[in-house]
Structure 1
Amino acid sequence: MNPSLTLNLLGGVQLLNYDVPLALPKSRKALALFIYLAYTERAYTREALADLLCDTTSTAQSLSNLRTLLTRFPLTMATHLSITRDTIAVHPKDKVLVDACVFTKTMNALPQPLSHTAASTCAGLLTNYRGEFLAGFHAPGAPRFDEWLRLERERLHHLALAGYQRLTTYYLECGDYEAGIKVVTGMLRLNPTDETGHGHLMRMLAYTGQRTAALAQFETCRQILQEEFGVEPDATLQELYREIRDGEFATPTVKGADASTPQHNLPAPVTPLIGRQAAVAAVQALLRRAEVRLVTLTGPGGVGKSRLGEAVAWAVLDDFADGVFFIELAPVRDPSLVLSAIAQALAVRDQDSRPLQQHLQEYLRDKQILLLIDNFEQVIDAAPRLLELLRACPQVKVLVTSREILRLRGEHEFVVPILAPADAVELFVQRA
């Protein structure tokens, strides 16, 4: 089910119904009630909510205040509440997409260390972290709600910092210092006193030939630490400063961000393919037909869609002069991050203010490439963007794995069959 409501809580409060903004209640407590119900995704007893939002010594008075609170919702919001004699919740028929929930679930699902696709997902999440959780918001006369808000705000803040740190490490290790500079700059906006972050920024500025800026960054760090704590930067940072100043700082030998893109980024198979030879041949034949641009491998979870997709991608590798690229969407829950995942796999950089879709279309327009996109069912709303890419890039083909079809013009569905009993037994033995 696609979400009918979107509740944005990072950097402020915004409620959308199918992308149309809804009027918010004038009562801060009423808004706090709706936020709490949508964010925690469960029903609560009236007593629990009264205790959370009404700071009175009398339970009866708190319940009375809660009843009054329920009358203060605009009709456009009230229709989305399920209110019974005992409990209150967001109506079960409404699927609410809460940006802070998407941020938490997706960030926590990212692998360690970050893969290329996961790094793209992480970068997209941090771009959507527009500010602190419910920045500037509080509910007057509701200290227990405000304490809950303080703890959640702190938790999300630390989760964002952890994401920045992981992404900084990723860019340092792969040598993409230009991208790393942007990331660590964002991290320092969240935590200006982070000496490790200042050190990373100094290094990457020096790596990219910006020696003066690297030295200036040290002075910025020194000023911040003096103003906040009355201390000097630690010995490690001071030594880094001296190395850069005296020209003793060498750039490490790593593959730069502008290195030629490999022909593929397909994961190496770790086990033999069992019982899928006919399916591989059938999908391979589909992809070789000139009029076929989009093939979707469908089937229930665990049937083997991903493994089949990888096998097909390896089989057709020589058919695509500019390569075959794997885009893993397993950690992605937000449809808006799909283009970022594709761009990361292709090493396409968003270097100006133009939309990422335009960058991708320009990069792919004259290329003969196959995109293998895995686990599309959880971001099905991004399907129209995929169609736009195909229309703009006539030599690109896409092989998708999904539990459901994308419902796009020109899509060819291949239902992945269940393994024959003998093959299933062999696979079980292989995995044992």
Structure 2
Amino acid sequence: MPAAAGDGLLSEPPAAGFGDGGEPRKPPLGSEGSFLAAWVSAAGARERLRDFQHTKRVGNYLIGRKLGEGSFAKVREGLHVVTGEKVAVKVIDKKRAKKDTYVTKNLRREGQIQQMVRHPNIAQLLDILETENSYYLVMELCPGGNLMHKIYEKKRLEEHEARKYIRQLILAVEHLHRAGVVHRDLKIENLLLDEDNNIKLIDFGLSNCAGILGYSDPFSTQCGSPAYAAPELLARKKYGPKIDVWSIGVNMYAMLTGTLPFTVEPFSLRALYQKMVDKEMNPFPAQLSTAAINLLQSLLEPDPAKRPNIQQALANRWLNENYPGKAPHNVTYPNRIHLEDLSQSVLLHMTEKLGYKNSDVINTVLSNRASNTLAIYFLLNKKLERYLTGLRKSDVHDNVCYRNQLYQIEKYKGNQDAYEVELFMMIL
């Protein structure tokens, strides 16, 4: 169904936009109008809106096919009508959620927590919408799919590949713990892959950070998936952030073996717990290195007092084998975008072409406040980065003229003078 008039689409087609196959086409040298205006208002973007199969529109989003489903929510593919970019939309059915008092009580907590954190290995929350019957969380789309599918196809991951994913997961969880957030539901199904095959952690529906948001004690509720839950959580004891460390151990075992470390047939929560505390882990594959086994055994230590915290796990030797001199525990990712790191080209486009107030855009992005403003900034910036990455990889890289333009863009991209940046975008 075509998007209706008044969707917020720019009406003027650009001088340059998309090729016949939907690929980006270079604007000619000296073309008038900004690069972003050409990119956003391209005829190809209109075609994507027209061809996007959807059942309804909510706010600035077309809601399309189902990507996944849980007890109270469905995740659907969406299309942002202003930028023509695809997103993931988590749709929570408020009527179904009312059947569970815990879910009803904490309905808005997931969105609140995700606005508190920002990390390259955590899926970015872009917007929040609400209707009488549904609550919508709009997030960046992860086109690489679910890590579980990859493990299923390969049977198990090679050690070097699992190391990369576990390192990224630990970095994401370390970031959460520094912000006072405990995820409480770390499982393979909640690990997605982006277009560059990097981990994106999702689903903060069971996360908590009582000290910050004022919720009840987060360290006593029994929640999450039993197969990934730490023994102290299963035993209904008081627990802390180290439950996430245990879950990381289960994820690591699953990546390296294609199975879970503790299994009982027929299933019994009591028997599962007993296996955990008795350290009756399923066998390791013969090809696993001693260093990998040692890390697994430390993460899956049933006594939380002896189990490493997330910072100690991050310093493990196996985790850092491929990163000499640049151990991940020395990396601290900024929780907020700094003013000097804002894309001046995107800011200029939003203020001059889309009518946003400059200070409103800056405040929204710097505070990571989920809204249509944040969605437009994030999606345009991602689109711009994708274009430049494609340009670097394309055949024009051999062309001296375009190579010089690319150098100028990189040189001036961070300049505070937005018009100077825009000038270089215009002549691309």
Q: By the TM > 0.5 criterion, same fold?
A: no
Structure 1-normalised TM-score? 0.25
Structure 2-normalised TM-score? 0.25
Q: Which has the larger radius of gyration?
A: 1
